[in-house]
Amino acid sequence: MIRKMLFVASAITMVALITIGLTFGLPAKSTTSAAATPAAVQGCNFPITITKVDLRGRKAGGGHDVGVFWQAPNLPNCIAVAEYKVYAKYTLPNASRDKEITVPGNKTSATVDIKGFVTDKDPTNVSATVTAVLKTTATASGAKSQPVTTTP
């Protein structure tokens, strides 16, 4: 009789330990957040659409201003743009000129002042790249409480 009771008690204990072990691996109230889904699907890569690259007229000392215009990326609420890195380059027949600047995260356009020489020919190509530096404003936490049961 004692063996049967020990067997039943140990079986119940094993089931309880297995159940507890399986639930400790899960976060509290494990659900899929709608805000987190786009980042998971996109692999945390958010496209920035550059709408216009404008090579402006030659400056008196040489060089050109390049206007760059873009659309802000579509981000979840917990991610914001801290700043943008704007890289502009124009190609001359025998050389190229480039420059990178940093603009605040609330801007969607910039003018890049690229220096040159008075003897430079007219540019044949212009390009721009905009990269966002992102900041996360999310928190993560978990808590659990349950009644304690004691067995004599």
> Domains along the chain?
44-136 (2.60.40)
Tell me the pLDDT tens digit for each residue of 92-110: 998 999 999 999 999 999 9
pTM of this structure: 0.64
| Dist. CA 87–CA 113, nearest whole Å | 11
N-terminal to C-terminal alpha carbon distance within the chain: 19
Q: What is the DSSP string of 23-75?
A: HHTSPTT----TTHHHHHHHTT----EEEEEEEEEEPTTSEEEEEEEEEPP--
* Residue 71: both structure tokens together: 């659309």
| Dist. CA 73–CA 21, nearest whole Å | 41
pLDDT (0 to 100) of residue 98 = 96
| Dist. CA 116–CA 57, nearest whole Å | 12
Tell me the pLDDT tens digit for each residue of 49-74: 999 999 999 998 899 999 999 999 99
pLDDT (0 to 100) of residue 22 = 47
Output the tens digit of pLDDT for each of the chain's 152 residues: 676 665 666 666 665 656 555 444 444 444 444 444 454 444 678 899 999 999 999 998 899 999 999 999 999 888 999 999 999 999 999 899 999 999 999 999 999 999 999 999 899 999 999 999 999 887 888 898 988 888 87
